[in-house]
Amino acid sequence: MLRLLCFTAHPDDEAGGFGGTLLRYSERGVETHVICLTPGQAATHRGIAKSDEELSALRREEFNAASKLLKVSHGEVLDYPDARLDRQDFLAVVGDLTRRVRQIKPHVMMSMGTEGAITAHPDHSMVSLFATMACHWAARTNRFADQLENGLATHQTQKLYYASALFTMPQRQPVSLAPTTTIIHLEQREIDIKIAAFKCHTTQAPLFGFFEDTIRRRGNLEVFHLANACTPRKAEAETDLFAGVEDR
Ligand SMILES: [Zn+2]
């Protein structure tokens, strides 16, 4: 069975950045995994939450509801601190994510771009860097070798993608996006479910209008940058994240 692993930073990134693609591949029979690094407790919009702990709990529930709509096979929210991913121990986080890559053994991985996606959020940049190193180092016998002594095997992911975009938000910090190599054209039904999944994040309700408006205007595409592949190649235009991937 083919497996797809997506690393995100905050609950709602899975729907906003990857929703249509996660749904598409799940419905094609791919086992889909989403690992979100933080419970989003530093968010500006906080719903009825009176504390960071309450907001974390609410946002975990919202993530689970969104994941269900997107037919995610396995979704998990980790406990790294929102808005502080740039202050974590780099090696410790990469070790944690490497272990998860070795356990899940994805054929394809995706994460956000190093620039931090169109919102330029530093957590988005950091999850990109952590996921990238976990992707590379999971394959190596000389990285986190203690994991290999404890029953895990090395795993080489065949392709790593960064989510990208074909527009920027001028009112935000400047971002230099990774060039699009891969375009997923969403059907109307997939767009509707993606918007519904985003709206599962009820604590973020003040964002719904802007999100839906943006998606309805520009959201029939989810675009990606093929950052790494296990076989050397020239960049070419793709419409399938699993193009050329072997089921092994
Ligand atoms: Zn985010």
Query: What Å distances lie between residue 188 and 52, 69, 87, 237, CA to CA?
Result: 36, 15, 40, 23
pLDDT tens track for 119-149: 999 999 999 999 999 999 999 999 999 999 9
In the reported structure, the alpha carbon of residue 14 is separated from the centroid of ligand 1 by a whole-number distance in angstroms of 9
In the reported structure, the alpha carbon of residue 13 is separated from the centroid of ligand 1 by a whole-number distance in angstroms of 5
pLDDT tens track for 11-58: 999 999 999 999 999 999 999 999 999 999 999 999 999 999 999 999
In the reported structure, the alpha carbon of residue 17 is separated from the centroid of ligand 1 by a whole-number distance in angstroms of 9
pTM of this prediction? 0.97
In the reported structure, the alpha carbon of residue 150 is separated from the centroid of ligand 1 by a whole-number distance in angstroms of 33
Tell me what pLDDT residue 46 has. 96
Tell me what pLDDT residue 219 has. 74
81 has pLDDT over 80: yes
In the reported structure, the alpha carbon of residue 62 is separated from the centroid of ligand 1 by a whole-number distance in angstroms of 14
Mean pLDDT calculated for residue range 82-93: 98
Tell me what pLDDT residue 194 has. 97
In the reported structure, the alpha carbon of residue 237 is separated from the centroid of ligand 1 by a whole-number distance in angstroms of 27
